[in-house]
């Protein structure tokens, strides 16, 4: 063989070896990455080649699968009462991917999760039967919240204080995920994503807004735990009006006739006295208020239920005036309905917070449990004494104060209203909040609820937590207690 041929042969051999090495590398090390690539059409084809597993509410599927008429994707996702449950399920779309429970448990629902495979299936790559996701949602609570919110822009969350099970999670306006589950739903997608009311936004988890006076429960907890007061019936040293520290601005209360001067914590919660809680926040200092807020879950960037919620915020680096305003849930304090439901749930449960979650278990195609969430951890937030005293004060709010709309026959109910200002110079309609708990006197059954009304048809002067949000909480609590 002459020199030229020898060089050409060696070069060709090197090319073959390089191709073999590359092929081996792709098969051994990059196969999973390629399979998971969002642009890999084969993955989508495989995902929708068979009916998907289901998301279960109250023992019944709220999802399904429908055979498509054409194309290479054999099945598309369907939803029963999609508008009612979209804040729980999210969507599974052949064109736009998956969100919330549909996204988190996509491998279980499409049958590719390794826990679904037996050893032979794992070796051969055989498609296995999909699994199901069982939620903690109570259909009656969900429906009560959805119907009570109606055309209002808002959200509501109901939690079982003892177990942390989320019994209801509603966000309005809503949408039907069935309308965007296929490959030819571009017009519906554009309409939903372009809607100024953002129907695809889960306001229960992902829109933290100023919580207004509902945050006073956190400040009251900090004051009692710090020992500023031994009792909610001990008088405070609170001027009315209250001059914000370092400013010439006086902070007043909703009504000049409210008995807020030197009011007790019980009376201050009953009449929602801004002056008392602004001064309390300044007296405690932002570090102590923040520490209590963070015990309840504020500033937690990994709040998963298992869908991740946006962090509720208690700010840092405030001056004394800003700290005072934070005490009434203003300045840069924000909270989601989930967060305020967690606050009330912990107080209702004797100061112990059960981890909130909306999935009870994940099962395989035969109903065998792959993962259970029935025994989620709990942690103590405040002492039993502090919780008991604040329960009593919240009951006063409902029985003879600003929360009268939340009464449930046959149940002990405690609550706190909130009206949060926003906009430039507070020029926009305020947000209406209500957070509450109810205990059935005969059965001992409990529920905690938080409701946010972001926008409604009510005139600005008629916006209040008791008037707008309280009735929604009442309907959900009554449903949870079968009242």
DSSP labels, 180-206: GSSSS-HHHHHHHHH-TT-TTS-HHHH
Our answer to whether residue 9 is catalytic in this structure is no
Q: What angle in degrees, to the nearest 10, is found between the helix axes of 384-400 and 337-348? A: 110
The Cα 324–Cα 387 span in angstroms is 23
Element (H, E) at 134: strand 132-135
Strand order in the sheet with 369-372: 60-61, 55-57, 132-135, 359-363, 369-372
Q: How many CB atoms lie within 10 A of CB 316?
A: 10
For residue 209, the 8-state DSSP code is B
Contact 223, 280 (CB under 8 A): yes
CB 450 within 8 A of CB 433: yes
Q: Do β-strands 446-455 and 431-440 pair in parallel, antiparallel, or remain unpaired? A: antiparallel
Per-residue b or e along 390-417, where b marks 16 or more CB atoms closer than 10 Å to that residue's CB: bbebbbbbbeebbbbbbbbeebbbbbbb
Q: Rounded to whole angstroms, how far apart are CA atoms 318 and 226?
A: 20
Which of 93, 213, 312, 405 is flagged as catalytic? 213
- How many angstroms separate the CA atoms of 184 and 206, rounded? 28
8 Å CB contact between 141 and 150 = no
Residue with tokens 């449950």: 85
CA 369 to chain CA centroid, Å, is 25
Q: Shortest CA distance to 454 belongs to which of 473, 478, 428, 435?
A: 428
**DSSP assignment string, 349-361:** TTTEEEPPBSEEE
Tokens read off for 180? 């965007």
Which is nearest to 465 in space by CA: 421, 408, 426, 424?
A: 421
User: Which residues participate in catalysis according to the annotation?
Assistant: 213
């Amino acid at each position: 063989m002459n020199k030229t041929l020898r060089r050409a042969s060696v070069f060709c051999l090197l090319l073959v070896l390089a191709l073999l090495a590359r092929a081996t590398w792709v098969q051994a090390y990059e196969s999973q990455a390629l399979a998971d690539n969002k642009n890999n059409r084969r993955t989508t084809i495989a995902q929708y080649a068979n009916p998907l597993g289901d998301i279960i509410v109250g023992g019944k599927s709220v999802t399904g699968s429908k055979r498509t008429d054409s194309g290479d994707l054999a099945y598309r996702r369907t939803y029963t009462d999609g508008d009612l449950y979209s804040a729980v399920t999210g969507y599974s779309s052949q064109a736009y991917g998956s969100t919330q429970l549909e996204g988190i448990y996509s491998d279980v629902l499409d049958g590719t999760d390794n826990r679904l495979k037996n050893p032979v299936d794992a070796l051969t790559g055989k498609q296995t039967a999909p699994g199901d996701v069982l939620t903690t949602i109570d259909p009656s609570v969900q429906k009560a919240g959805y119907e009570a919110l109606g055309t209002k822009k808002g959200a509501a969350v109901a939690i079982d204080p003892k177990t942390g099970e989320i019994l209801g999670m509603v966000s309005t306006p809503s949408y039907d995920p069935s309308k965007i589950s296929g490959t030819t739903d571009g017009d519906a997608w554009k309409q939903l994503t372009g809607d100024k009311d953002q129907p695809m936004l889960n306001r229960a988890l992902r829109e933290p807004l100023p919580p207004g006076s509902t945050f006073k429960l956190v400040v009251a907890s900090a004051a009692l735990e710090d020992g500023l007061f031994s009792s909610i019936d001990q008088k405070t040293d609170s001027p009315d009006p209250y001059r914000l520290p370092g400013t010439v601005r006086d902070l007043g209360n909703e009504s000049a006739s409210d008995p807020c001067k030197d009011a007790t914590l019980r009376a201050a919660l009953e009449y929602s006295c801004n002056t008392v809680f602004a001064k309390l926040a300044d007296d405690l200092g932002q570090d102590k208020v923040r520490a209590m807020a963070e015990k309840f879950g504020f500033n937690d960037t990994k709040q998963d239920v298992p869908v991740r919620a946006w962090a509720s915020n208690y700010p840092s680096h405030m001056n004394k005036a800003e700290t005072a305003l934070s005490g009434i849930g203003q300045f840069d304090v924000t909270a989601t309905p989930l967060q305020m439901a967690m606050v009330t749930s912990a107080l209702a449960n004797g100061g112990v917070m059960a981890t909130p979650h909306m999935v009870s278990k994940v099962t395989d195609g035969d109903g065998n449990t792959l993962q259970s969430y029935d025994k989620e951890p709990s942690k103590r937030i405040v002492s039993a004494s502090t919780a008991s005293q604040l329960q009593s004060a919240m009951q006063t709010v409902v029985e003879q104060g600003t929360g009268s709309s939340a009464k449930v026959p046959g149940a002990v109910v405690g609550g706190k209203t909130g009206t949060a200002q926003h906009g430039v110079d507070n020029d926009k309609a305020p947000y209406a909040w209500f957070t509450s708990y109810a205990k059935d006197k005969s059965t001992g059954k409990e529920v905690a609820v938080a409701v946010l009304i972001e926008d409604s048809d009510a005139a600005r002067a008629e916006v209040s937590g008791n008037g707008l949000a309280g009735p929604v909480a009442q309907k959900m609590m009554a449903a949870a207690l079968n009242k």
